[in-house]
Structure 1
Amino acid sequence: MKEDWKIKQDVEEELEWTPGVVATRIGVEVANGIITLSGHPASYAEKLAAEDAARRVSGVRAVVVEMEIRLPHHDVRNDADIAGAADTLLRWTAGLPAGAVSVQVEKGHVTLRGDVDWAYQSHRLTRGIARMRGVTGVTNAIRVRADLAADDIGDAISRALKRHAEREAKHIDIKVEGGTVTLTGKVDSASERDAARGAAWATRGVTAVVDNLEFT
């Protein structure tokens, strides 16, 4: 098992390597493989990028986020401007029917509501909004329609896991009830957990993923 000092060193190097993250703005502490990120990223996008960077490092068991966004003065936008820009992004998103998703903005925090056919559409919209200037947070309240049988969903996830991460596929059990997928089993790192969760979320008909994966 990787020691905490090594995990801390690797996370700090990953932050320095990650585009869009200024590592000097982010503090890193480690205890038993659990990372705590502190500091003041200059945008919501930078905050998300720092979280993703920490999760990519092998040996990281979990990430605790204590960062607080401090927008530079030139990036501050009023809520009306953010709402208008977000609405434009939705209207220009390929494959998204007009009016399928609505936007609400309060003090820079964007809430998305509506219905889509695929979970990836929901995630893509969230990430797109997160990268906009002036945004301080995003709440994804978009619902994904469940239109496949449970057996079909489970088989699709199993095949995806074998294609993406064959080792993990041998150690993960998949249970589907309606559109809810429950993952159980053993993984070695946060990156392996993300691979399993990503395969589940990328499958049509999945409306929720319950992560009961444990670290070895």
Structure 2
Amino acid sequence: MTIRDDQLLRSRLRDAFDADPALDAFQLAVDVHDGIARLHGVVGSYAEKLEAFSIARRMADVRDVVNDLHVRPYGADWRVTDRQITDHVRERIGLALVETGEVNFSVDHHVVTLSGLVPTVEERALVRHVVETVPGVDFVDNDIEVGSR
């Protein structure tokens, strides 16, 4: 890719970030070199970090994405306690139709660690997805195993 191609790709990425209502891209920066996008700066939640990565991965002509974004909750999310996160995670896992006895979790300083056993890879991904969108969650460590008893 030429420098001009990288500049155009960077501009398209910025436009896509700014247009996404699920992403507050004010402190999100992107650099592009040889078609490799490097995301850096600050976003307000783990869900926003994943959204920015997803946008960049889907963009035509992006060869790879390096996600160096940092999560620093702002607004009401920074005041969410681990106890509140625990309650919301329990509720979301129930909404995902997962037997709560088969998925365990712990919350420590806004980091959720998942463990347990589910029957499919899709269910493992679903549990992670519903948990990572809980307000106040900075990171999800998904140690859920796939298999049967």
What is the alpha-carbon distance in structure 1 between the residues aligned to residue 77 and residue 100 of structure 2?
Answer: 29
More relative contact order, 1 or 2 (CA 8 Å, 6+ apart): 2
Aligned equivalent of 1:149: none
Structure 2: any 5+ residue segments left out of the alignment?
none
Distance 1:36 1:4 in 2: 12
Which residue number corresponds to residue 16 of structure 1? 18
- Cα-Cα RMSD: 1.6
Residue of structure 2 in register with 1:47 after alignment: 49
- Which residue is 1:192 aligned to? none
Match of 1:60 among 56, 59, 62: 62
SS at match of 1:66: strand
- Unaligned stretches of 5+ in structure 1? 147-216
Cα distance, 1:125 vs. partner?
1.3
Equivalent pairs, count? 145
Q: How does 1:1-216 map to 2 (within 5 A)?
A: 3-76=5-78, 77-94=80-97, 96-145=98-147
Q: Which amino acid aligns with 2:25?
A: A
Q: Matched residues in 2 for 1:52 and 1:19: separation?
A: 14
- How big is the shift at 1:73? 4.6
Q: What is the rounded CA distance, in whole Å, between the counterparts of 1:97 and 1:78 in structure 2? A: 25
Q: Structure 1: which 4+ aligned runs deviate by more than 6 Å?
A: none
Q: Percent identity among equivalent residues?
A: 29
**Partner amino acid, structure 1, of 2:22:** G
Deviation at 1:91, TM superposition (A): 2.3
TM-score by length of 2: 0.89
